[in-house]
A and B are shown apart, each in its own frame.
Chain A
Amino acid sequence: MTTVEIPLTTRKDWSSDQEVRWCPGCGDYNILAAIQMMMPDLGVRREKTVFVSGIGCAARFPYYMNTYGVHSIHGRAPSIATGLAVTRPDLDVWVICGDGDALSIGGNHFIHALRRNIRLNIMVFNNQIYGLTKGQYSPTSETGKVTKSTPFGSIDHPFNPISLAIGAEASFVARTHDMDRAHMQATFTEAHAHNGAAFVEVYQNCNVFNDGAFEAITGKANRSSMLIPLVHGEPIRFGDDGERGVVQRTNGHLEIVDVATVGEAAILRHDAHAEDPGLAFALSRLSRGVHDPTPIGVFRSVHRQEYGDQMTQQVNEATEAKGKGDLAQLFRSATSWTVD
């Protein structure tokens, strides 16, 4: 975590007076703590910060932040946040979703917010389960998953949220997990700095309905060998001594190899700023599930003009060209006639 010379606020200033009501042991506590502790370092103001959420466990998040906040309806948070962000460019707008919220009922708003590149920090707490409705499979649950609504196993093929976001023309796509505060904070900070729609998938443990879903990759003992940290400009390597790495074959496929076998020079360097989303997409396909080594960090971060800025620009240009709107003129913009 970075240090700030003059802390204007502390975590306490960002915590509301509401009792946090997630189940004891829920991964959401870690994410909340990470964000509350990070906010003082972002150089932002509480009264200019808004958390918007939909419905689900994750959606209770705004109640716990001492900022402005809206707890809205299932799946629609990105749409509400869109209207807010494009009319109030002075605000920092965070959208907190769950996997069912963002990718199932709100899938349409999610992809359109990304393609429009609206200045939103969209956090999807992915626990691969419906928690608040007590344990049905979600659009990110693995095929075959036995839940209350799939007693014989789910036959749904899951979404890969990172692939989906890249396919939806997202300009910023990242992944982190609830067991690593420093990584969460670094990732959220980068998302916040992005001028456009920033999507962060957060692997989050639901210890009641889907406990240990990510243990194979995020468990302390497994992280080094199962998480592949993506750092822009750096070779993509992992393992205790960086002994494993990712190479790209001539057919474009990525493959995990022993660095010693192929040589350091053969290891792929991560380029999050590449205009072409091909590499980011290939990285999102590297892992077929939570039992394979899985990339975390920023997959893609490219500049594209922000939506609200363009909207404001059109308003400004029209006002400059025509002068500030005048009602008396507007009413006469069709052919008028006078009766004496």
Chain B
Amino acid sequence: MEGGPPVTEKLDRVVVRFAGDSGDGMQLTGDRFTTASALLGNDLATFPDYPAEIRAPAGTLGGVSAFQVHISDHDISTHGDSPNVLVAMNPAGLKASIDMMEHGMVVIVNIDSFDERSLAKAGYSDSPLTDGSLHDFDVYEVPMTSLTQEVCKEVGVKPRDAERSKNFFALGLVSWLFTRPTDGTLDWIAEKFKKNELVAEANRRAFRAGFDFGETAELFHVRYEVNPAPFKGGEYVNITGNTALAWGLIAAADRSGLPLFLGSYPITPASDILHELSKRKEFGVRTFQAEDEIAGIGAALGAAYGGALGVTTTSGPGLDLKAEMIGLAISLELPLIIVDVQRAGPSTGLPTKTEQSDLLQALFGRHGESPLPVVAASTPAQCFDAAMEAARLAVTYRTPVILLSDAYLANGSEPWLIPDVDDLPAFSPDFAEETNAVDAEGNPIFLPFLRSPETMARPWAPPGNVGLEHRIGGLEKAVDAGSVSYDGANHEAMSMVRKERIAHIANDIPATALDDPSGSASVCVIGWGSTYGALNAGVERVRAAGGKAAHVHLTHLNPLPADLGEVLSAFDTVIVPELNLGQLVTLIRANYLIDAKPLSKVRGVPFKAAEIEAAILSAIGEN
């Protein structure tokens, strides 16, 4: 095979992982490779994996920033269990990723960074390139730094600055390896660096040099092609969960005719929602970066009182702080959306790593009997729909709604079929504008807690209407009248109303969607939120091998679909995979007396499809 031109091999799917130092530009490299693949028509799923520190100590394992992308010619739902190709920009990037890989896979290293000092920083006593530990891998040593510096010499940038373009060399090389078009990336470089032509030129040259290196160095004897996936016809964009969520909020405001107000305090991994919304002022969006988490939700609640679609965005530590204000929103019965982009806890935990451990907090994390609807997004693109649904419930039922996303959804991306705006659900705030009762003397009066018989929702009466002046607060309110009441029987009646009005929403959400093509599976996996992709891929694997497995995935966590208990009761085994220590499983066991089994993982990374598959197969074996 030596010497000849490389042959092109077709793959149905491939997982590529870029790993390097935090300052190596791995997120950007991965993002560009993803975009090129999206434009080629591949299905894809991404997983940015980066440290909490902006610039962790260079060259160490703690400082490794990685971006994994799964591209395919068919429908996929995860970022891939195991990389087929690893691009390691330094020894730490190699060390942090190599254990994820199966033998025989491709490892491309930037050989220039494998000096003694960098090896030592990564914790290698001997070079893995020479000690035989990579014997079972297909290793390519490419001098990316020096070749980048070489081609940038004439550009006039300093060698140190030229070195920073080496990620574009890597991108060029991988673009060649996977036969990606180059035009899109070259256009992007021109646009992104238009204010610094020297840097643009250096990046351009590095990118071309990487591509040409693949073509001419005769190091690689195979190039790969991944054909477009058979997507449903339509227009697509590649979208992250945070962007999709922000757009869902804008769409909800647009479709309900409400002005959107976001009160927020920066927190990883939720801040990008604040960033995205703050750019979109032409939609009438007002964003308010508050002095703290409490003020963020306080301002959102104040805006909701005034008739806006009030939203606050946060992650676990912020949700802790917002609890009292959520309780007030429950008591005031005002629409409010609380977005919790979950991360590993407790306390500061692992700020950039994903986890689903806020479910029980979302449901129960307040004093008193304080129920509210909880909605969870299941994929990056589905964050759009989940945001619209959270808004619909909040506005229709005059209640705070907690919308759960997580770090994996927030930063991960996938193609999104752009919807027709006219097809998006519309809902009306149906503001109270007139009095709704008469007093003993027959004078018209306004009772702020007189409920709609259909929705059990109270009137939403923002200030401004004559005759509707009223006072509301966190003290217990008299049924209907809403005035302060210290009466015990009234408190019990109001507590029951607050419980029932949320439970009642079960009539307005879809029944359980059971995915069981066989109709006779004995094992059902049930999940919620971002595990959708892994669970879906896990059951598909079982089915591909001739087995039977059912899958239920919940978007509504409170109330649960009315028929859920009945659906689950039909299975011999119910497995509940969660990125926590068993929260949904606790609810299912408590609500339905079903002997559901937990499958827990709290390692800051999503489930692998293989882990789900193994759990299902093991359960089938026991049945």
Contact = CB atoms under 8 A, between A and B. Distances in A.
A332 B292 contact: no
B472 A69 contact: yes
B236 A336 contact: yes
Interface string A169-183: 000000000000000
A314 interface: yes
B305 A334 contact: no
A325 B305 contact: no
A314 B281 CA distance: 7
A195 to B, nearest CB: 19
Interface in B328-349: 328, 332
B508 interface: no
Contact of A319 (B281, B332, B472, B483): B281
A65 B470 CA distance: 9
B302 interface: yes
Interface stretch (B118-126, B247-255, B391-399): B247-255
A289 B39 CA distance: 72
Of A79, A315, A324, A331, most B-chain CB atoms within 10 Å: A79
Interface residues of B, number: 73
B131 interface: no
A287 B81 CA distance: 71
A112 B308 contact: no
B298 interface: yes
A201 B239 CA distance: 51
B474 A340 contact: no
Given A48-B463, A86-B288, A340-B233, A16 B302 contact: no
Given A108-B295, A112-B291, A335 B39 contact: yes
Nearest to A111: B291
Interface string B462-505: 11111111111111000000011000000000000000000000
Interface string A301-335: 00000000001001101110111110110111011
A325 B254 contact: yes
B611 interface: no
Contacts, number: 207
Contacts of B286: 86-87, 311, 315
Contact of B301 (A80, A319, A322): A80
B41 A84 contact: no
A90 B462 CA distance: 12
B470 A82 contact: no
Contacts of B473: 62-63, 69-72
A81 B469 CA distance: 17
A91 B483 contact: no
A331 B464 CA distance: 35
A22 interface: no
B232 A339 contact: yes
A70 B283 contact: no
A323 B328 CA distance: 37
Interface string A13-35: 00010100000000000000000
Given A47-B468, A47-B469, A68-B470, A108 B291 contact: yes
Nearest to A84: B302
Contacts of B148: none
Contact of B472 (A70, A84, A322, A340): A70
A46 interface: yes
A50 interface: yes
Of A63, A81, A331, most B-chain CB atoms within 10 Å: A331
Given A327-B250, A339-B234, A83 B471 contact: no
Contacts of A65: 471
A80 B299 contact: yes
Contacts of B30: none
A261 interface: no
A271 to B, nearest CB: 31
A255 to B, nearest CB: 37
Contact of B418 (A71, A90, A331): A331
B318 interface: no
Contact of B465 (A47, A87, A314): A47
B303 interface: yes
A189 interface: no
Nearest to B419: A331
Contacts of A49: 463
Nearest to B303: A83
Of B233, B284, B298, B307, most A-chain CB atoms within 10 Å: B298
Contacts of B251: 327
A152 B282 CA distance: 60
Contacts of A48: 463-464
Contact of A47 (B38, B294, B463): B463
Contacts of B41: 337, 339
B295 A76 contact: yes
B545 interface: no
B144 interface: no
Given A314-B281, A339-B233, 5 more contacts: A47-B468, A80-B298, A84-B303, A319-B282, A331-B237
15 contacts: A47-B469, A52-B302, A63-B471, A76-B294, A80-B298, A83-B306, A84-B306, A86-B303, A87-B307, A88-B462, A108-B291, A315-B281, A315-B285, A339-B234, A339-B236
Interface of B: 35, 38-39, 41, 184, 228, 231-239, 243, 247, 250-251, 254, 259, 261, 263, 280-286, 288, 290-292, 294-295, 298-308, 310, 324-325, 327-328, 332, 418-419, 421, 424, 462-475, 483-484
Q: Which 9 A-B pairs have the closest CB atoms?
A: A71-B473, A79-B298, A83-B302, A325-B283, A83-B299, A318-B281, A80-B302, A69-B471, A79-B295
